[in-house]
Structure 1
Amino acid sequence: MVTTDPVADTACSADHAWFHVAATGTAPLTFMWEYSNDGGTSWDTTADGSVYLGTYNDTLRVTADMSLNGYRYRCVVINTSGMDTSAAAILTVDTTAAFITGAMPVCEGGTIALANAVAGGTWSTLHPTISTIDAAGVVTGVDFGIDTAVYTVTNTCGISSESARIRVDSAMVPYPIMGPDQVCIGNSITLTNANVIGTHTWSTDVVPHSTISAAGVLTGGSAGIDTITYSMTNACNTVTVQAVVEVESLLAAGTISGASAVCAGSWTTLTATATGGMWISGNTSVAVVSTSGNVTGIGIGTSVISYYQSNSCGASVATHTITVDIPAAPIGGNDSVGIDSNLLLTNIVPGGVWTSTNFVVATIGSSSGMVHGEATGSAFIRYTVTNTCGTTVSSIVLHVGPLPSPGTLSGPDTVCTGGMITLTPSVAGGTWVSRHDTLATVTSGGVVTGVEAGKDTIDYYVTTAFGRSRVFKAVYVNEAPVITLTGPGSIALGGYYTLGATPTGGTFTSSNPGMAPLIGYGFFVVLDTGTSVFTYTKTNGCGTRSKTFTVHLPGTSDVRSVGAGTASLSIFPNPTQGALTVNLTSGVREDVVMILTNVTGQKVQEFIVPSNTATNVVIDQPAGIYMLTAVTKDGNRHSARITVAK
């Protein structure tokens, strides 16, 4: 009945494989597919589902899976005449390249074997100068470095590849552990080693004083010494190195005991409760200290002596202040003082007592050293000091006498800037001083030169062994007068005005007394229009200076008719007792406004008259000088001065 047997088929995993059978005979024909997973020894019937489809048809579809690789498939054909079984066909299932497995890394000159679950692929390396690989996947290390092994598979699934990193190691040498060799309790340090490619471990002693991490970070736990071990293994060998680390605790400062004072040139021993430190003097010009704590005094003063310790946890310092004394030093200050005068004596050694052997001649404060001259004569002044150097005394002979007489000064008390005067003392041999040398200077011969205006004081000092006395003279520095002149901002006819001048006492003049005569000291009146220049002149012992002030009053001259363009204003009589005839002649007939103002510019009267017509008006104002102004409609103004005499 079977006329065509199924043939072997190959499919990629998850794809479909197809098996087909053909048969003849008396209908109906029944098909049933079977599979064997043991090379054909036993057979089971397929069942339609996710893997098989068409179990009872002439064509069987198989969903390929690697678990079915190598399965055999046959078909049993049945009819009324009996049954016939086809030959078996093999299913081959392909897949993409799998993960590469095998031991890595490899040592230079050594070999390792790599494998892939998918057969039939080819092996290669990217860098044959670092490593090579044969067809069986055996890698040979060539040179130190990193390479990549590639496995490539070509089948019904296409071309696929997997890669694996290959490290080629070289034999290591035991490099030393690097890093600090001390750590404080609770603090951390980092240790390193040049061997870093491979597998390493850090460890401490069996009974450790510290802990260390896989990264080499060591943390102090308790005081003591630990041996740190670093072990590194690669494909070639294993190296192990060690280092010693001391775990330290914070040092206690302790205390210093011993004398607190020493005489210069002598020494004393200080003792520290701590050990292992060093001695330091804070002021070696006062005292120095040896390595064993012996302090030697050098000079007067104080120095802080320190005992210094340090370790990885920090520093600690104990201190002790020591004073270096010296015997009584020479007395500082003058050896003479005037009667009823004071003199301060000094000594660089503190704490002493001052005494005088002759209280009638001189007294002295026992602690201050201030001497007071009492009477003419001499006295021993002593300074007594008791300290670590013992009791010592310094003394001087002090002479007391009368203060010198400075005499008197004669000469002028004024000088001009840039000028000179000479002052003469009655007692020779003294020294001259100007209290304000920006105003005046004085030479050793008493010649005073004026610099700037003001009042200075010239001092003359006479000095002897018993003190210094002074006489002085006030000197006034003058300069040619600096004049300030002020006056009115504006003027009007008949007005009275004042000119202000400083300094006072000078003289005024006017360049135009007919227009503005001076009627008193700085007072003037305006009688006419025009310009006048006032000059103020002032003279003192240093020269004469002048300053001017100009006044100006514009307007018509003293005539009865004033013209402006083609118009003219006529006024008569002028002077008048109050009755006037006015006429503004022009080419236009119009009403004209007449404005009368007094000498201060204040309007006092106003009236309207026709132009080109003689009109009588009455000026009802007190006697004085006025200004009459005619204002036309086009704004032209025509003015004339009027004198009212009553």
Structure 2
Amino acid sequence: NFPTPLNICSGDIINIGNTSPNGVVGTWSSAFSNTVGATYTFTPNAGQCAVGQTLTIAIRTLSLPAIAGTSQLCEGTSITLSNTVPGGIWASNNTAIATIDASGTVLGIAAGTAILSYTIASGSCSLTVFHTVNVHPLPKPKLTDQNFCIDSKTGLFISDIILNCAIPNSGYSFVWTRNSLPLPTTGNSHVADEAGIYEVVVTNTATGCSQTAQCTLGISAMPTGTAVATEDFQNNQIITVTVSPVSNSYLFRLNGGPWQQSPVFSNASEGENIVEATDTKGCGTLTLPVYVLNYPRFFTPNGDGYNDTWNVSLPDENGSEIYIFDRMGKLLKSLKPSKDSGWDGTYNGKMLPASDYWFQLHYRDYQGGEKEFKAHFSLKR
């Protein structure tokens, strides 16, 4: 009682043995074919009280042409594949390399090889054809934003800028533009002598894959300028830096400290200070010495090696003189400004008591003008 007719798909495995479903053992007239339909006769073995049977096997055959379309594409680009038989399903065996949608549009994801398939179905039968695609890598050119440095005296660029896109000349073509206008350069490097937006399109001559790199070349300059402190001998000395040209690309620092955007420094130390103004776009650093005039507010002549004498330090001590008085106006000492020596708190060899003392300083300021300054300080014991 073999089922007949038996409908199968071309190429299916035929699992029919020499024993019928109701246990009759026999032989078939010929071997089964899974590609050509035919009728087969089953002859039972003798002694089973059974009669022969015929079995018709019908083969359902599907036809599907090859997939049409190119097999080469670049990362990030797409191609379209097609098949003349409609209604099939597209698939990719590696979606990390290439994907394909229901319309047959293939998108290159990463360099490598993927096998794409197109499958049609009819009833329980299906047929699949395959298409291999190669996804080629894109060139990876690199350009960096830079700045031309201007000579502050001539106003001319100090030097040209060489743009190199980091791709070898061999095997690639190059198209350069500045502000979207073509440049004559055809190699991997361009010598730029104008500010603007530069772009290079690099193409792999073997695969046709292209990638673009862009950079902006601006203009900057090393600052020039001055740094001055506030009025001499103020308690909070403030240094102000004035630079040219005016730019927000400058940073400032005092005595090797942290860089800051503000050109103003408070509580500057007495004596020589070093101010730096640097161009963050790489065009250099201006260094300016600034002398802050101030005086000690007290001294302690106790012989411990700290603040044992009192004096004022000046950048130019020539022609300067200090006169020290007690609170009654009596002249106790006259001396030259110095950073190495000073008044020890004595008068005619005798130690004076802890108190406030007054002084008068005659000196020249940083512009060379004659100045006089009066104030007081404390002697502590």
**TM-score, normalised by the number of residues in structure 1:** 0.27
Larger Rg belongs to: 1
- 1 or 2 for the larger relative contact order (CA 8 Å, sep ≥6)? 2
